[in-house]
Structure 1
Amino acid sequence: MTNILRTFASDNYAGVLPEIMSALVKEAQSKSHARAYGHDDVTQAARLVIKQQFTSASDASTPGVFFVFNGTGANVLSILACTHSYHAVICADISHIITDESSSPETVTGVRLISIPTNENGKIMMDRIEEKLDCLGDMHAAQPRMISIAQPTEYGTVYTLDELKQISTLAKKYNLYFHMDGARLFNAVSSLNCTLRDITTGVGVDILSLGGTKTGMMYGEAVVVFNQSILEADGGILKFRHKQVMQLASKQRFIAVQFLALLDNNLWKKSSEHSNAMAQTLKKRLESIPLKDNKPQIRITKPVETGAIFLEIPQQWYEPLSTIFPFYMWRKKNCEVRLMCSFDTTEDDIEQFMKKIYELIETNV
């Protein structure tokens, strides 16, 4: 009998929230046909819910919502929505668009990604952004047009609302668009105990890549455009870009219905709060590992603010631990690894993981 695989590798390894699966099954078993390519009632309802969750009741403008298949597609479409091929996007040197999406953002959009160093917590620094803006107006240089950040960062840390407002203010000062890669946005919202509006339109985000897969959807993400000038650019070119980059689903309602379920009754909050809480539990258990020769055997390297834990472990632990509970090596030089908790991580998972660590300690591995 095959053992059930449990991992701390990624929330992409997890399955599907039962409520999401029920919504998919219900829609699939419906005897009704529906118009394709997002012209159906379910997709329209999902767009309305997103408007209600991300904008204020007094906001007359309606955000553009473009459902896509995956996170790379969301980021590429977001960049295409705001740039031309002579433009550049300023991003963190550890950002997903520059480290984990191959060369797709640059190849498909034609723009240049300008990476800048982050601080020790993975956050983009204001002074480093401004250093890259000296070339504005210089015909010989790719022209910065967008600032892109991940919220939370690749280290699982969270920008505060004040930090986001500072970035937004800087972007507007230089007539740049502010893009947020929110693959795990719901975890950040739960960490800050704020609203979806607070963390996006409330701080001046222009365009958002909204993640669903890592929160418990089967597949699918969304590009949410808050800045009306982006929607109106070039006569509404974004809908054509949506098709051009092969992210326009024909049966779009099967992505939309998942967002409806996720946003209904704050299911996203239940999911993200759980993964965040499991990370805190795992952190406490790791911190309880006894010293060896009066020295810590592990070291947590980044603040634990969402579902991710970064830590240094003894090199000899990596193979036996990751064979049983797969997880990613982040930096080989000092054996820094990433452990990621998911909506379905359990306390038993944590106990079994710790049990293996104590076995390694007892056998002096």
Structure 2
Amino acid sequence: MVKATELTGTTTADPGNPTPTRLHNPASRGFASDNCAGVHSEILTALALSNGGHEASYGEDAYTKRLQGVMAHHFGPDTEAFPVFNGTGANVLSLQSMLPRWGAVICAATSHINIDENAAPERVGGIKLLTIDTPDGKLTPELIAQEAWGWGIEHRAQPLVVSITQSTERGTVYTPSEIQAIADFAHARGITLHMDGARLANAAAHLNVPLRAITRDVGVDVLSFGGTKNGIILGETIVLLTKEASAGLKYLRKMNMQLASKMRFVSAQIIALMEGDLWLRSAQQSNSMAKRLSEAVREIPGIKLTQEVQSNAVFATMPPAAASKARERVRFLDWNPVRGEVRWMCSFDTMPEDVDNLVAILQESVGSCQNEIHSVGEPAIVS
């Protein structure tokens, strides 16, 4: 693995020289997050084609209008797409539009809205989160029932939305029947269903089903659809699957600072991702590399998988000293330092040689820290 500091083909920035300079090594690869990957070349081509001339602003452009048809193709007629800047904005805005001020959201304790969005749902959205512990990041009707109560009690925030993540922050995937069961349970109690689909493409690729089969067809009301983790520069899309589930989204998007003036450049990226099969090809690539990685590390003594690998994430425990040593050569993140659990994320541009290089580094690092192999407790789940 080439270190990020070993830059080649770059020049020192000169304030008097406006020529752009490259400040990173384009050959570097890491496994910290799929957010760290670059932009797919097909997305860059689409952006270039959308540039030039003047187009109407704030979503009145030709690209945003075309996006409506593209998303309807994937999610069904009468859907409506609202491009926004980022995933946090998509989630907060979606949930805010689904709730009265006294409403609450039931979600997994590991959900992105709970642990990775600072206090945005609470401070910006004014939303109460009712969190539930899960072994694998997935909610079930039985788990949701722990917080689905108290309607009409003025002392309790009213549980009116369930939010699930597909694929989850633990890399696991809901099946269509699992989502349908949640939707049926929720709708029977007057609760609407939101899906954080930052990695929805990875879930669909794993299940080998159309996007609609794990969203609209199984009862999801509002979707935060992600593209940043699958090869675009920036921008996500809120997709209304049942319009009655959301109120005032048109106005809330502006109020929450998520209305892009030059929206055509967000929409053009999502069109390029979704109009053909780029979304699927990219997700299949990252998923397959995660599977390759999981199969290889399973054979390394001292490393134990802690979740079934169903998307582009691999979770495992390993000796902390070995993890620290490996991170001197390739970047990845701790998930639970107390348990010695780490996470490796694969991206659309992760190649077999990148995985093989990481495996070699891990083997060497674990081998040099044999005395710590038994110092880490057994994982909760071993697949």
Q: What is the TM-score with the length of structure 1 in the denominator?
A: 0.92
Task: Give the whole-Å Cα distance in 2 for the aligned partners of 1:8 and 1:252.
Answer: 31
Task: Give the whole-Å Cα distance in 1 for the aligned partners of 2:344 and 2:191.
Answer: 35
* Pair 1:23–1:175, CA change in 2 (3 A): same
* 1:196 CA displacement: 0.9
How many residues are matched? 347
SS at match of 2:270: helix
Task: Give the whole-Å Cα distance in 1 for the aligned partners of 2:47 and 2:169.
Answer: 30
Equivalent in the alignment of 1:320? 325
2:301 is the alignment partner of 1:285: no
* 1:361 CA displacement: 4.3
2:314 is the alignment partner of 1:299: no
Identify the structure with bigger relative contact order (alpha carbons < 8 Å, sequence gap 6+): 1
Equivalent in the alignment of 2:38? 15
2:249 is the alignment partner of 1:244: no
* 1:70 CA displacement: 0.3
Task: Give the whole-Å Cα distance in 2 for the aligned partners of 1:157 and 1:86.
Answer: 31
Equivalent in the alignment of 1:87? 103
Equivalent in the alignment of 1:46? 67
- Asked if the contact 1:85/1:109 (under 8 Å) is kept, the reply is no
Equivalent in the alignment of 1:158? 173
Residue 192 of structure 1 aligns to which amino acid in structure 2? L
The CA deviation string for residues 164-219 of structure 1, in whole angstroms up to 9 with x for no partner, is: 00000011101111000000000000011000111111101000000000000011
Between the aligned residues of both structures, percent identity stands at 41
* Pair 1:34–1:288, CA change in 2 (3 A): same
* 1:330 CA displacement: 0.5
Q: What is the TM-score with the length of structure 2 in the denominator?
A: 0.88
Match of 2:232 among 217, 236, 239: 217
Task: Give the whole-Å Cα distance in 2 for the aligned partners of 1:147 and 1:363.
Answer: 46
The Cα RMSD (Å) is 1.3
Residue 362 of structure 2 aligns to which amino acid in structure 1? I
Residue 25 of structure 1 aligns to which amino acid in structure 2? A
Equivalent in the alignment of 2:353? 348
2:92 is the alignment partner of 1:76: yes
* 1:238 CA displacement: 1.5
2:70 is the alignment partner of 1:65: no
SS at match of 1:7: coil
Structure 2, gaps ≥5 residues long: 1-5, 8-24, 371-383
* 1:297 CA displacement: 1.1
Task: Give the whole-Å Cα distance in 2 for the aligned partners of 1:324 and 1:335.
Answer: 18
Equivalent in the alignment of 1:292? none
Residue 90 of structure 1 aligns to which amino acid in structure 2? I
* 1:362 CA displacement: 4.7
